[in-house]
Chain A
Amino acid sequence: YVLTQPPSVSVAPGQTARITCGGNNIGTKSVHWYQQRPGQAPVLVVYDDSDRPSGIPERFSGSNSGNTATLTISGVEAGDEADYYCQLWGTSSDLNWVFGGGTNLAVL
């Protein structure tokens, strides 16, 4: 199972960034999103398509339908500049994790 993300997305501060994650019938699966700032470990920012862990700002939201899951970051700040990865678990008969290739968010 392959998850496809755009290599990069650019957005001006205060604008809305949308990062997509494409996969066959991905809308039938639970998708998680991670933020990885340079030199740091990944941080879970959205789980189960659209839920936020405690401590994650409401500016981060997610959706999932059809063949595309989307991470939306509203009111983008300079500190949001990072790599973002989508991930899901349990495709067909196995319990493997699958990661997307990652998207670098540049804040102009």
Chain B
Amino acid sequence: QVQLQESGPGLVKPSETLSLTCAVSGGSIGSGGYSWSWIRQPPGKGLEWIGSISSSRSTYYKSSLESRVAILVDTSKNQFSLKVISVTAADTAMYYCGSGAPGRGDYWGQGTLVTVSS
């Protein structure tokens, strides 16, 4: 069974770049059929999809975030990453990585809280 673990800074200053990594175990990120996603949840609010990358390395992003986000895969380290540029307080959230069949989250990481504050 695939297991996911997010890591990255818990505090980011406004206007800077948020960078998170999701380590994959129990499966190979290079194998086909899976997609790899990032989802976030502001404190006390619902889930918001950020974007996904497919096994063919095609990327799909929420339209309102597309100009600021990037998802990359590193097959040598069996991990994928999220970068969000020019962050504001509105980017403060619990960030989850997920994977599974295209279009859904069969497996989720435990989440990592990122606070944007000076």
Assuming A85-B47, A90-B103, is B108 touching A96 (CB within 8 A)? no
B34 within 8 A of A: no
* In the complex, chain B residues whose CB is within 8 Å of the CB of A97: 37, 39, 49, 52, 103-104
Q: Supply 20 A–B pairs (Cβ within 8 Å), ascending by A.
A: A32-B103, A32-B104, A40-B110, A41-B108, A42-B47, A42-B96, A42-B105, A44-B106, A47-B106, A85-B47, A88-B103, A89-B102, A90-B103, A95-B102, A96-B49, A96-B60, A96-B62, A96-B63, A97-B103, A99-B47
**B residues within 8 Å of A by Cβ?**
37, 39, 46-49, 52, 60, 62-63, 96, 100-106, 108-111
Other-chain residue from A30, A42, A95, A100 in contact with B108 (beta carbon distance below 8 A): A42
| Cα(A41)–Cα(B62), bound, Å | 21
A102 within 8 A of B: yes
